[in-house]
Amino acid sequence: MARSYIMSFILSLMATLCFGFSPNSLGDLDTTLVRCSLMEDTPPTITCPGNVVSPCAYLDENVYPLAPTTFDDNGVVLQTYTLTGATTASSPGTGINDATLEFFDFGITTVTYYVEDAEGGSASCSFTVQVTDTENPLIICPDDISVSTDPGNCYATLTSLGFSTAYDSCSGVIVSRLNIPPLNQYPPGTTVVTWIATDAVGNTESCTQNVTVTDTEPPSIVCGPNVTVSTGAAACDANVTVPPPTIVDNCGTVGVTITNDNTGGGADASGIYPTGTTTVTYTATDSNGYETSCSKDVIVINGSNPIITLGETGPLNLEVCSLYIEAGATAIDPCLGDLTGSIIIDSSGLNMNAVGTYNVTYNLPGYPASEEILTINVFDTTAPVITLIGPDPLTVGDCSTYTELGATVDECFGDIAATSLVITGSVDTSTLGTYTITYNATDASGNVATSITRDVVVIDNSGPTINISLGFDLNLDDIIDIPFELEACDTFVPPPATAIDPCFGVDYTSNIVIDDSLLDNTVLGSYLVSYDATDALGNPSNTIYIEVIVVDTTAPVITLIGDNPLIIEACDTYIEPGATAQDCITDLTTSIVIDNSTVDTSILGTYFVTYDVVDANGNATQEIRDVEVVDTIAPTAL
């Protein structure tokens, strides 16, 4: 057991110290060939690249390889580096590190590499990297900008000036700007913005961009209210103090000039102004030449009232409806002279068609105290004229309703009949004769019109009224709505009628004329029969019509030919004697239907033969003939 333990220890130790050795599955050294070399302790070797001189801070590894060359029998397990001098940096403390991707500052930097192998052996080497970048980057500024000031402000807000183009052949660049105003608010004028490109080693290049802001907003000017003054009693002008306008400009009023077109001065337009209205125009111009204007009126009222002289002395008395002729007026002002052409004459309230008192006014605009008034009294001394409406004489029918046609009462200004006409007299249309109607009128001024009359003649112009005795009333010119039926071929007897004068009750029944000439009682249909009459003066009555309808409700008549009953000897042949048929209009013999089918002469007895016929209107009738078969002949012996 002790031997086995010792062998196991030796094998384990050898497996730890040698590469590629392990006991066999039995752990028996006798059956295993062990070949093992002793561990070596030679340190690794390292060779750095030669010193590097580069124009750029970033080194191209294909042009400037910065990795060292190392060797160790068992391989390097650690490689680190440190940078000192112009650039200071160090790699991680573990693993294999390479300085090729480092950024090197302008100047000389010493690169020191350190390596270790697995046994702890180490080595190091150093070399220098000198960056000589003296080339400035390239920068192109955006285009110059020209803008106007923001509305109402003395600056232009520009949040973007465009984009520059910057480039460096060795490294990236950082672009910065100088002379940017606060809040990006650029004042009027030209602001020079400097764009600077800086590369990785601090080389710079710059360009400039001009931002020009122009104040194109004209100033604001407010003239204020008009100025109104009055001259003295004997003056034709006035010394007027005119308040200056109010000026506002987005860049301040410094540099804004004001002129006026009245005195030729600046903001003060005060001075001597004539009577009337003078318009003063102010113009404000800013330093950029932009201008704006406003105006106000200086109104100088004449302190002396002009005198208006009327061409007609009032009051003026005129007849109603006469023509008013304006006499005019003159107006003289001690300062302004003749103002006659400015007089405003107002006669709109004058009505020459109505009695009354009216005023015509004469005024001068701006001088209410100069008003003059002409009073006109319109009188009415002319009597109105009555004119009949309708004919004179006027003929009306007996027992009619008399309707008054009236008359017009003409004044010059219209018909006043509704308020002034008085009509007297009456008409009795139930009594023939002539009646007189009288017309009078008095106008509102008491003028009495000439009375006129109209003759109304009541004449008998109504014919008698016909009434037919059918048990109901008829209207004039009526057609009786209950038809009067007449059997075909019957004689028409007209219903009785009366004709009475409706106004005086005179009986004209004997004058009735009945016209039934269109009636044909042999032809079925509807016919009108008229009733007319005239009175003693030839006035015709109303025409009354009755409707006569010719109808056929009577059955035709059948007449048998021969005996009835008819005696026939037994065994003789039955010979039909026939029959005729007739209604009032048509012979229906050929339409008779004869039925003698039952007659049998071989058998004694009585038989019935029927005769039937129907006319065109469906009226039917029948006749029967008795046929007696008898045996009156003795038999014959054979």
How high is the pLDDT of residue 254? 62
In the predicted structure, residue 36 carries a pLDDT above the cut 50: no
pTM to 2 decimal places: 0.40
- Of 268, 147, 305, 262, the closest CA to residue 215 belongs to 147
Backbone angles phi, psi at 35, to 5 degrees: -125, 120
Three-state DSSP state, 100: coil
Whole-angstrom distance, CA of residue 453 vs CA of residue 382? 21
How high is the pLDDT of residue 9? 47
How high is the pLDDT of residue 34? 39
How do beta strands 122-131 and 52-54 pair? parallel
- Of 548, 542, 532, 554, the closest CA to residue 493 belongs to 548
Confidence class for position 133, pLDDT limits 50, 70, 90: confident
Average pLDDT of the residues in 8-22? 43
Confidence class for position 13, pLDDT limits 50, 70, 90: very low
Confidence class for position 10, pLDDT limits 50, 70, 90: very low
Distance of alpha carbon 429 from its chain centroid, rounded? Answer: 67
Confidence class for position 108, pLDDT limits 50, 70, 90: very high
In the predicted structure, residue 200 carries a pLDDT above the cut 80: no
Average pLDDT of the residues in 548-572? 93
Where is pLDDT greater, at 231 or 393? 393
Three-state DSSP state, 182: helix
In the predicted structure, residue 607 carries a pLDDT above the cut 90: yes
Residue written as token pair 């018909």: 415
| DSSP at 587 | B
How high is the pLDDT of residue 106? 81
In the predicted structure, residue 449 carries a pLDDT above the cut 90: yes
Q: Which two tokens stand for residue 244?
A: 């200056």
- Residues 368, 304 contacting (CB under 8 angstroms): no
In the predicted structure, residue 30 carries a pLDDT above the cut 50: no
Confidence class for position 14, pLDDT limits 50, 70, 90: very low
Confidence class for position 304, pLDDT limits 50, 70, 90: confident
How high is the pLDDT of residue 21? 40
Where is pLDDT greater, at 302 or 521? 521
Half-sphere exposure of 602 (CA within 13 A, CB side): 0
Whole-angstrom distance, CA of residue 370 vs CA of residue 331? 9
Average pLDDT of the residues in 347-374? 91
Confidence class for position 28, pLDDT limits 50, 70, 90: very low
Least confident among 2-16, 481-495, 617-631 = 2-16
Please give the C-alpha separations between residue 146 and each of 188, 194, 486, in angstroms, as whole numbers.
10, 16, 120
Backbone angles phi, psi at 445, to 5 degrees: -90, 5
In the predicted structure, residue 2 carries a pLDDT above the cut 50: no
Confidence class for position 23, pLDDT limits 50, 70, 90: very low
How high is the pLDDT of residue 12? 47
In the predicted structure, residue 286 carries a pLDDT above the cut 90: no
In the predicted structure, residue 217 carries a pLDDT above the cut 90: no
How do beta strands 291-301 and 276-285 pair? antiparallel
In the predicted structure, residue 483 carries a pLDDT above the cut 80: no
Q: Which residues contact 631 (CB under 8 A, 6 or more apart)?
A: 569, 570, 604
Where is pLDDT greater, at 304 or 182? 182
In the predicted structure, residue 470 carries a pLDDT above the cut 90: no
How high is the pLDDT of residue 260? 81
How high is the pLDDT of residue 525? 92
In the predicted structure, residue 434 carries a pLDDT above the cut 90: yes
Where is pLDDT greater, at 236 or 180? 180
Least confident among 37-41, 138-142, 245-249, 582-586 = 37-41
Confidence class for position 481, pLDDT limits 50, 70, 90: low
In the predicted structure, residue 182 carries a pLDDT above the cut 70: yes
Least confident among 161-165, 218-222, 327-331 = 218-222
Average pLDDT of the residues in 93-105? 88
Whole-angstrom distance, CA of residue 584 vs CA of residue 524? 12
In the predicted structure, residue 333 carries a pLDDT above the cut 90: no
**Domains plus CATH for the chain?**
2-31 (no CATH), 45-131 (2.60.40), 138-214 (2.60.40.10), 220-301 (2.60.40.10), 307-379 (2.60.40.10), 385-459 (2.60.40.10), 465-551 (2.60.40.10), 557-630 (2.60.40.10)
How high is the pLDDT of residue 602? 92
Whole-angstrom distance, CA of residue 594 vs CA of residue 442? 102
Give the model confidence (pLDDT) of 48-71 as tens digits.
999 998 877 667 777 788 899 999
In the predicted structure, residue 234 carries a pLDDT above the cut 80: no
